[in-house]
Amino acid sequence: MFLANLKERLASLLSVSADDFVYPVPAELGDLSLPLFALAKSSGLSPAALAQEKIKLLEQSDLPEAIQSFRAVGPYLNFFFKAGVFNREALFDIEKAGPDFGRLAVGRQQKVMLEYSNANTHKEYHIGHLRNLFFGDAVFRILAFNDYRAIPVSYINDFGIHVAKTLWQWQRANYKDVDAPKGWLLGKCYAEASNLLLQAEIKEDGGLEKEKMKTEISTVMKEIESRQGKNYELWQETRAWSIAYFAEIYQRFGVRFEHIFYESEVIDDGLKMVAEFLQRGILKNNQGAVIADLEEYGLGVLPIIRSDGTALYPVADLALARLKFNEYHLDESVYIVDVRQGLYFKQLAKIFELAGENLKISHLGYDFVTLRGGMMSSRNGNVITYSQIWDEAYTRTRHEVVARHQDWEIKRIESTAEKLAVAALKFEMLKVRADKIITFDMDEALRFDGFTAAYLQYTGARLASILRKNETLTADYSLLIHGKELSLAIMMQRFPEAVAKAGFQRDLSILARYLFDLSQVFNDYYHEVAILKAEPALSSARIGLLRSLRQVLVNGFSLLGFDYLEEM
């Protein structure tokens, strides 16, 4: 990467780290800057005195060809690039790397398993699940791009008490002949069951009614766990509906898993581990239940098995964690689950530590997606479902495409509308830091101006329109001496830094913001500088500049998981 190498050379000359350099704002202050506060403190000199010392060193050095000048401005040492030289080398660099531009071999093929989209069968898939899915998929993409052996997996909870609640209500309300999407019906059933339990609890005389309901639900759960009887058969049938529903969602959003684990496949091994850990004193019995008492480690108490004998989530999670490391020989297992589960994964890791199994378990949390009226809950039915949000996004993008391209064939309209809708939903979930709450706004998501996917894709389509008018493949990039051309080339060369930082911090909002800033720099350039109407040699160079920009956008969009559109 040309800019990275340039910074390394300057860092070597100045005996500093390449990471110490920053980019001045506004750009008139320089193209690259070295703050001297920390360095001055360690040297015992004032920043101004240290700056002068560094300038003397540079004046005696053989500087890189791309450096035009340098000067001290207060506690900063600012560098100015030779536009023609920098642009020539920067664009050659991008052209040579192509789809690999920005790729860094920092992962060294470490095996990192990423577990996400841990949806529950027999519940609706909602907008909060989409944030998890898009976040997990983008983290996988950027780690793989950074040379990790990233392994994307999903773990489906198909065996919990929520299943028993759903099937209990399914049979009470006789839903089998209702003509509606099965996944939606199962979610409706679960919300109804939860609401019935809640209503019974708040009644003055509802205690007995609730206990009766809970006993009936527990009976359903035990029959499912026994793997025989009518409830088990109904579980098999309805489970298949949910799995097919999830597969449809994954296909629509271009998400692929190397393996999908199911709670029902590991629960038996989990029960054996519970017995083993009980015998070893890692777990203990408590009033008929099984718990992990981790109070002395500041991690509280983790229930493992209920007093009625039914298993809780940790039973399967213990078995699955051991299975992952034994079968895949992982360096790290990352659970991408909402922020509320942070303590739980610390508890899980501590149990393995007490068992003498040093498994590197990490939790990568993200915050809620809210409705304008407050938090969502599938128990209360207060959710924006996947079906609802997809239907609205697709309907609106299709309307927009039809309005712009009434001459297009239906297949082309539908394909473009789907890609716009996918990008809009993904970008809205990824542009916000994972530790921040998202209040989803469809009007905002589908805007063609502002910090949106549509703005980025429109920038790409504008580029494509220009490039279709000129197919020149060779050019003299040293002709690119306009200040905005230098700004654009510098910004493109910062792509590897954005990728590395987003990957290291596992924060895709860094990359989303970079792509938006890059698009703004291009649009400023586009409105000020003649491209096709410039004299032929200069026009060819500018076309080459835009070709490199297109490559950077293609690479960036791919990491976020959506398509670059040639036309929209």
Could you write out the DSSP letters of every residue in 353-400?
A: HHTT----EEEE----EEBTTB--BTTTTB--BHHHHHHHHHHHHHHH
Where does the pLDDT of residue 210 fall: very low under 50, low under 70, confident under 90, or very high at 90 and above? confident
Residue 374: band (very low, low, confident or very high) from pLDDT cuts 50, 70, 90:
low
Pick the CATH number of 116-370 from 3.40.50.620, 2.40.50.140, 3.40.50.300, 1.25.40.10: 3.40.50.620
Res. 389: pLDDT tops 90? yes
Tokens of 255: 């998400």
The answer, yes or no, to whether residue 376 has pLDDT greater than 70, is no
Angle ∠(72,78,83) on CA atoms, nearest 5: 135
Low-confidence winner among 141-145, 172-176, 517-521 (lowest mean pLDDT): 172-176
Structure tokens given for 36: 């001297």
Which two tokens mark 302? 């983790």
Measured in degrees and rounded to the nearest 5, phi and psi for residue 288 equal 85, -15
Provide φ and ψ at 159, rounded to 5°. Answer: -140, 10
pLDDT of 381 > 70? The answer is no
Q: Please give the average per-residue pLDDT across 94-116, as a whole number.
A: 96
pLDDT at 375 over 80: no
Confidence (pLDDT) at 174: 79
177: CB partners within 8 A, 6+ apart: none
Helices (H) and strands (E) in the chain, counts: 20, 13
Where are the chain's structural domains?
2-81, 116-370, 418-560
Domain 418-560 - what CATH class?
A: mainly alpha
Please state, in angstroms and as integers, the Cα–Cα distance from residue 395 to each residue in 245, 250, 391, 414, following that order: 20, 20, 6, 10
How far is the C-alpha of 121 from the C-alpha of 170, rounded, in Å? 14
The 3-state DSSP class for residue 336 equals strand
Q: Under 8 Å CB-to-CB from 356, ≥6 apart: which residues?
A: none
Average pLDDT over residues 97-101: 98
Q: Among residues of the chain, what percentage have pLDDT more than 70? A: 97
**In this model, does residue 373 exceed pLDDT 60?**
no
Contacts of residue 244, Cβ cutoff 8 Å, sequence gap at least 6: none
pLDDT at 425: 97
Question: Quick one: tokens of 395?
Answer: 């309907």
pLDDT digits 0-9 by tens, 222-234: 999 899 999 999 9
pLDDT band at 239 (very low <50, low <70, confident <90, very high): very high
Tens digit of each residue's pLDDT (9 = 90 or more) over 8-43: 999 999 999 999 999 998 888 999 999 998 888 888
For position 28, what pLDDT does the model report?
Answer: 87
pLDDT at residue number 471: 74
Q: Are strands 76-81 and 67-73 parallel, antiparallel or unpaired?
A: antiparallel
Sign, CA torsion 271/275/281/286: positive
pLDDT, position 110: 97
Sign, CA dihedral 196-369-253-504, equals negative
Q: What is the CATH number of domain 2-81?
A: 3.30.1360.70
Helix (H) or strand (E) holding 225: helix 206-226
Q: Please tell me the distance from the alpha carbon of residue 515 to that of residue 529, in angstroms, as a whole number.
A: 21
Determine the pLDDT at residue 185.
86
Task: Determine the pLDDT at residue 232.
Answer: 95
Work out the pLDDT band at 460, boundaries 50, 70, 90. very high
pLDDT in tens, 153-193: 999 999 889 999 999 999 998 787 788 888 778 988 998 99
Identify the band that residue 371 occupies on the pLDDT scale cut at 50, 70 and 90.
Answer: low
